[in-house]
């Protein structure tokens, strides 16, 4: 009986010690939590989000914690597309290569395949932007993000992206090329500096649209 009593007391002491010594771990934010508004700087007539890197096919990537990155489409793509009605991401737990299709965007009768700016595994899709695709064009750099990608080779991949002081002149060059391509279709579709006229793809002839998609979205 005394041995049983000693054992019970021993277990009681261990239990009390465990709970007294246990520290409450701080809550860790989810990697796909709503991002903070990026710091924007005005350059060459464009509002450029700082810390973002851009793929030539007009998608962006922002590095989060560890190997997690957030991707979306840039403001040039948003203006070119105009009103977006549907966004289909290739799916979670899928490995995508840099420059491989990560989503299909539908605007009217226009379907555009957007390319992944980074290589890795798609871990999360932004359900808000799937439910309301216009969010991707209304707020492309914050709430309109498309997916989270776990990218172990981010540093290597980033060497193939437009970033830092090269972003603004790159954007300006894109607008200049766009203006040159659409001038023949209608002078009102071209503009000096800044973002292209919203919804250009839906306003040009089918042959011009095909050229624009190939030129700027690399389809």
From CA 113, how far away is CA 77, in angstroms rounded? 11
- The answer as to whether 214 is a domain residue is yes
- Residues 174-210 have pLDDT tens digits of 999 999 898 866 655 555 556 667 899 988 999 999 9
- Residues 21-58 have pLDDT tens digits of 433 333 333 445 567 889 999 998 889 999 999 999 99
Q: How many domains does the chain have?
A: 1
Q: Which domain holds residue 214?
A: 37-219
- The answer as to whether 213 is a domain residue is yes
- The answer as to whether 15 is a domain residue is no
pLDDT grade for 88, boundaries at 50, 70 and 90:
very high
- The answer as to whether 31 is a domain residue is no
In the beta sheet, which residues pair with residue 80? none
CATH number at residue 104: 2.40.50.100
Q: Which residue has the higher pLDDT, 202 or 11?
A: 202
DSSP 145-176: --EEEE-TTHHHHHTTSB-GGGHHHHHHHHHH
């Amino acid at each position: 009986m005394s041995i049983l009593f000693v054992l019970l007391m021993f277990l009681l002491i261990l239990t009390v010690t465990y709970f007294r010594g246990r520290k409450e771990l701080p809550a860790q934010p989810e990697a796909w939590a709503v991002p903070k508004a990026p710091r924007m700087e005005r350059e060459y007539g464009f509002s450029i989000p700082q810390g973002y890197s851009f793929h030539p096919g007009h998608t962006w990537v922002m590095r989060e914690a560890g190997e997690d990155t957030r991707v979306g489409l840039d403001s040039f793509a948003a203006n070119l597309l105009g009103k977006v009605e549907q966004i289909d991401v290739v799916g979670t737990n899928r490995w995508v290569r840099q420059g491989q299709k990560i989503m299909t965007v539908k605007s009217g009768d226009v379907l555009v395949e957007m390319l992944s700016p980074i290589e890795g595994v798609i871990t999360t899709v932004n359900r808000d932007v799937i439910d309301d695709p216009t969010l991707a064009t209304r707020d492309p750099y914050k709430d309109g993000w498309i997916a989270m990608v776990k990218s172990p080779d981010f540093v290597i991949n980033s060497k193939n992206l437009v970033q830092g002081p090269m972003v603004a002149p790159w954007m300006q060059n894109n607008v200049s090329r766009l203006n040159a391509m659409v001038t023949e279709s209608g002078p009102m579709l071209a503009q000096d500096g800044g973002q292209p006229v919203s919804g250009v793809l839906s306003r040009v002839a089918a042959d011009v649209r095909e050229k624009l998609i190939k030129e700027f979205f690399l389809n």
